[in-house]
Amino acid sequence: MSGRMTLKTLGNSDIKISPIGLGCMGLSEFYGQPISEKQGCELILHALDQGVNFFDTADMYGGGHNEKLLAKALNTRREEAVIATKFGIVRENGEYARTISGKPEYVRKSCHESLRRLETDYIDLYYIHRVDKNTPIEETISEMSRLMEEGKIRAIGISEASAETIRRAHAVHPLSALQSEYSMLTRDPETEILDLTNGLGISFVPYSPICRGLLSNWKPSEDKSDFRNMLPRFQGEAYDSNKTIADSLARIAEDKGCTLAQLSLAWVCAQGENIVPIPGTTKIKNLDSNIEATQVNLSNDDLTAIETILTANTVQGNRYTDEGMKGVNI
Ligand code: ATR
């Protein structure tokens, strides 16, 4: 499979990434009880063997567990990987409550801690996980720029930022990636952000491109360790209504001979050359299927059929809780 994937350049950097990455968050927490570390390492190495080199983590996933897992898996193969990690969400381990910090001294401290957990001398792509309203973005980016001069990070990214913040940040130091939620059921970036990132040469990295499993076969449950069970769009009637949209889309996938998850990935990729999704999975079978999705081509007729369904149906419920929504588009 690896031979069929043409590498892309990550934003305004010289880093080469596979056209699809691996979101590692669910290997540590948020999506129910995680798989074992051994299975997590096997999955990461399988991705690498298949040509997926773009690994997404964050300091706060599992309170550092996710970065350590990546270090353990990559071990002697670190040079083959492009590691993207993030700072800025400050939370007590296991708690959802959080504060945000983009203060220069916090940036530097976080970077050093991530380097230690990742057992590496450099982070390929360092993201601001959420924008700190109380620290001018210029101050945060300036410190990241210094980390870059020191060779500690190779590229700068930002997540869930507004167009204005992206412009201001990019003016201080060219950004290489914007990571925000984007899928057939979460189309917020289409109003302004997709064109903006494309115009500035910034890679757009959609997280939750399968809408956290709504565009596959995940179903809500009573499991408190799965934070999707708290999200508005997975509640009761909202979920039932959203599932109907997913079912309609699944029929298009069936006609094309692919799965709905694959259709979802092909759809985000079709929205721009600079788009590199990072679906999360805990299963080798699904990882292989996601890699195959890079070979699914959507015709204009396919895209029109999808658009007809999406414009005829409004997704019910926000993608985050009210508290979570306060942290996006800043
Ligand atoms: P996130 O970026 O937040 O991880 P996502 O990529 O939109 O979210 O969706 C992740 C969900 O899709 C997970 O529930 C994952 O389940 P598994 O861990 O069981 O794979 C599911 N998922 C990912 N790839 C899939 C595939 N090819 N087929 C079916 N489900 C898939």
Of 75, 60, 62, nearest in space to 118 by CA? 75
Q: Report the alpha-carbon distance of residue 129 to residue 85 in Å, rounded.
A: 9
| DSSP string for residues in 226-293 | BGGGGSGGGSHHHHHHHHHHHHHHHHHHHHHTS-HHHHHHHHHHTT-TTB----B-S-HHHHHHHHHG
At the topology level, CATH places domain 2-216+272-295 in TIM Barrel (3.20.20)
- Element spanning 125, H or E: strand 125-128
| DSSP string for residues in 24-35 | -GGGTSSBSSPP
Residue 320: active-site member: no
Start-to-end CA span in the chain (Å):
39
Amino acid at 175: L
Beta strands 22-23 and 54-56 are parallel
Domain ranges of the chain: 2-216+272-295
Check residue 94 and give its pLDDT: 67
DSSP 8-state code for residue 137: H
Residue 1, token pair as written in the block = 């499979």
Residue from 129, 211, 234, 281 whose mutation best tests the ligand 1 pocket (most atoms within 8 A of CB): 281
Q: Which residues of the chain have pLDDT under 50?
A: 1-2
Residue from 216, 262, 264, 287 whose mutation best tests the ligand 1 pocket (most atoms within 8 A of CB): 216
Q: Report the alpha-carbon distance of residue 180 to residue 56 in Å, rounded.
A: 13
Phi, psi of 158 (to 5 degrees): -145, 155
Check residue 3 and give its pLDDT: 55
Confirm if 295 and 328 have CB atoms less than 8 A apart.
no
CA–centroid distance, residue 92 to ligand 1 (Å): 26
Check residue 316 and give its pLDDT: 98
Check residue 157 and give its pLDDT: 98
Place of tokens 């979570």: 324
Coil, helix or strand for 294? helix
Global pTM value: 0.97
Write the pLDDT tens digit of every residue in 294-315: 999 999 999 999 999 999 999 9
Write the pLDDT tens digit of every residue in 167-203: 999 999 999 999 999 999 999 999 999 999 999 999 9
